[in-house]
Amino acid sequence: MKSSRKSSPMWNHFEERAQDTKAKCKYCGSLVSYTGGSTGNLLRHMKTQHITIPLDVKRQDVNISINNISVGEENTTVNEEHPIPSTSRDSPSTSSANMKGICRLNADIKNYFTKPLSMAKNKQLDEQLLKMIVKEYQPFSLVEDGEFQKFVHMLCPNYKLPTRKTLSNTILQTCYVESIQKVKENVKLAPAICLTMNSWTSINNESFLAVTAHFIDSATQLKTFLLDCSKLDASHTSSELCKQIKRIASEWEITNKIVAIVTDNAFNIVGGVHESGFRSLTYFAHSLNLVVKKGLDEIKFVLEKVKRIVEHFKRSSSALSTLHKMQNQMKLPNLKLKQDVATRWNSTFDMLTRIQKNKEPLLSTVGLLQLPEEFKLNPKEWEIIDHSINALVVFNAITVEISAETTVSASKITVLAKFLSKHVNSLLEQTAVPKEVKNMCQIFKQEIHKRFFALESNELISQSVFLDPKFKRKGFTPEKFNAVKTAVEKKKIAGFNLPQQNDKEVVDKKR
């Protein structure tokens, strides 16, 4: 009976269960009875629930017809495309011409035989095709493109591309179920989890909420998984967001594992986290973005003039062509001007940096095209741009550092905030800095102190700095360090007890 089960093609689609007489479908996870060893129920399930999946990979019938081949006693004749010279039976050896003809014929005959792919290999190719379509944002209709079909056939003639319907209705669903199961297994093993939440509105005016989990696994590797990305039809009130948080935590069974939820500075989403009973932290990068944007208002008149210049060269192809010619004459790289984006302050820094690099060819191009005064930057405005870039370069570097996806960043927040404050204070002490840039730096100083210096008293942030061997004592004043050390030694952090050792021993062990 065992061998009959294995020989049935149904077992390519089902898994046997040792504890009962039910088989588990590999596609939908349903349990189907096969009492008595019969696979009739399994076949019925496949035909009704997964009609797009081929039930068996059969050997391809190969019909080979070779015309104009006649074998006589003394010679063999093949068609004109592959002639084989006459060969005598009594000849002790075959000539080289005869051997070439026979080898050519054998090679051509082999082309008629195609070995079918195994079910495992076919499934692997289907899943890789789906991953490519999903990750590269390709349409499912790609499999219907004639040139793509030819390309795949040249790579693997035995692989038959799935239809668009099979991809979207069967393979996608199967991969989704498998991915969910893998994520659940990883999340279940996590001792503590931090969530990040973000909501946005699409170009179709539809609102969405995304929740991502971050944790460190047993191999001390940072893991990140998207737990939920759902459409929000209700109003974005704190109560509604609180319901969503509790729903997601319950579905993934992580209610008792959530250490904190990181969000932006929107009042409704911060309020929703507080209502749900979890601790809340704000994105450092988002807060830093608000700090910089408020300070940039002090040089707004220069930024608006730079924007007009960039927009002109973006709209006018002749002006851009003249700029490139001027760059070539000066033996400089052909760098286009960059436009800033309202939602990302870094783009303003990129815009100023790019126009500074193009200063000489830009001045020559503006003069050659005889553009109005509104497209000309005077020496004082160029000076403001130079000093503004000098002030913003550190903010840009910290934004890039804190936005890393593969490293933990909570322990860096207070240290980076202190470094920013020191950088701004040094600029305020310089006499050569223009008044407008000093006013901008003064705003930076106030906002940094307002938004970041209170974080040193935050329990999660201070303990993160203490446990980071890169900072440890350097992240605090002596009084604050001793207080944090005492608090850490009295409680469990992320599921383990801190060993009672001196600071040097702890740092050495962590390294």
CA 273, chain centre distance (Å): 26
- State the pLDDT at residue 462: 83
Q: Are 226 and 411 in contact (CB under 8 A)?
A: no
The DSSP string of 287-314 is HHHHHHHHHHGGGHHHHHHHHHHHHHHH
Closest CA to 446 of 297, 270, 265: 297
> In this predicted model, what pLDDT tens digit does every residue of 327-342 receive, in sequence order?
999 999 988 999 888 7
Find the angle CA(394)-CA(398)-CA(402) to the nearest 5 degrees: 175
User: What separation in angstroms does the CA of 432 have from each of 349, 436, 482?
Assistant: 21, 12, 41
**289 residue type, one letter:** N
Buried b (16+ CB within 10 A) or exposed e, 190-221: bebbbbbbbbeeeeeeeeebebbbbbbeeeee
Pairwise CA distance, residues 224 & 262, whole Å: 14
Tens of pLDDT, residue by residue over 109-136, are 555 455 678 888 999 999 999 999 999 9
Secondary structure (DSSP) of 247-281 = HHHHHTT-TTTEEEEEE-S-HHHHHHHHHHT--EE
Are 187 and 258 in contact by the 8 Å Cβ rule? The answer is no
Phi/psi region, residue 500 (left: phi>0; alpha: psi -120 to 50; beta: rest), is beta
Task: Note the pLDDT of residue 257.
Answer: 92
- Asked if 55 and 168 touch (Cβ cutoff 8 Å), the reply is no
In the chain, how many H helices and how many E strands?
A: 20, 10
- pLDDT for the residue numbered 412: 86
Task: Provide block-wise average pLDDT over 10 residues at a time, the chain (511 residues).
Answer: 60 81 86 81 85 60 38 41 43 51 52 70 92 93 94 91 91 91 92 90 88 90 91 87 92 92 88 90 88 92 93 92 92 90 84 93 90 89 94 91 80 87 92 93 92 82 82 74 79 45 41 40
Q: What is the dihedral of CA 418, 424, 430, 433, to 10 degrees?
A: 170
Which tens digit of pLDDT belongs to each residue from 196-225?
Answer: 998 888 888 888 999 999 998 888 888 999
From first CA to last CA, the distance across the chain in angstroms is 58
Is pTM beyond 0.85 here? no
